[in-house]
Amino acid sequence: MKRFVLAGLALALGAGAVIAQDAIAQRRDIMKAVGGATRDPGAMLKGEQPFDLAKVQRSLAIYADSAKTMPGLYPAGTQTGGDTSASPKIWEDAAGFKAAFDKFAADANAAASAIKDEASFKANFPNVLKNCGSCHEVYRVKKG
Ligand code: HEC
């Protein structure tokens, strides 16, 4: 009987580990998509690529979308592993982490409304990008 209980426990723990790895993989994939969505607008800001309103709007939608799922992908037990660069601060200050994503989404949505042409893009997009560094500084650790 005891053996069965232990086997059941091991299975449950095993399943938990799989889910934990999924959460890490998912949140890293979302951030990679956010990074990917930043490449074209970044090049446009530098004048290395022609301004493209549709691409800019698509990137802003990806930013706002990321904020909906990211804060929920940090369950207990996923502080390490899966090559995560999450900082322990996320678990110490989950509310602050969520608020940082809410601000990111609000800034992205405000920019999406404000950006109609290249001039308004150059005036508004950099403000959205400030969120990347300010959040990473607090909630992400540099990997060596
Ligand atoms: C509110 C917080 C927050 C904002 C805003 C944010 N990030 Fe992140 N980002 C994170 C966290 C946390 C990680 C670590 C992910 C993990 O491993 O759990 C991360 C990781 C990344 C990674 C590495 C993904 C990997 O593991 O390979 C890239 C690239 C990235 N972010 C790009 C960006 C860019 C570009 C922006 C702005 C357009 C941005 N992020 C905005 C919190 C944020």
Which pLDDT score, from 0 to 100, does residue 14 have? 60
What's the 106 CA to ligand 1 centre distance in angstroms? 17
29-46 residue pLDDT tens: 999 999 999 999 999 999
Residue 123, pLDDT score? 98
Closest residue by CA, ligand 1 atom 22? 31
Give me the pLDDT at residue 110, please. 98
CA angle at 26 for the pair 20 and 29, rounded to the nearest 5°: 145
CB under 6 Å to ligand 1: residues? 27-28, 31-32, 34-35, 38, 63, 84-86, 100-101, 104, 129, 131-132, 135-136, 139-140
The CB-based long-range contact list for 79-83 (8 Å cut-off, 24+ gap) reads: 81/20, 81/21, 81/24, 82/20, 82/21, 82/24, 82/25, 82/28, 83/24, 83/28, 83/143
Instruction: Measure Cα distances from 76 to 8, 41, 102, 116 in Å.
Output: 21, 35, 21, 42
CB atoms within 10 A of CB 130: 12
> CA dist 11 to 17, 76, 81, 82, Å?
10, 18, 19, 20
What per-residue confidence (pLDDT) applies to 11?
Answer: 56
Query: How much distance in Å is there from the Cα of 17 to the middle of ligand 1?
Result: 23
pLDDT in tens, the chain (144 residues): 566 665 555 555 566 666 788 999 999 999 999 999 999 999 999 999 999 999 999 999 999 999 999 999 999 999 999 999 999 999 999 999 999 999 999 999 999 999 999 999 999 999 999 999 999 999 999 875
pLDDT of 2: 60
Q: For residue 48, how far is its CA from the centre of ligand 1 (angstroms)?
A: 24
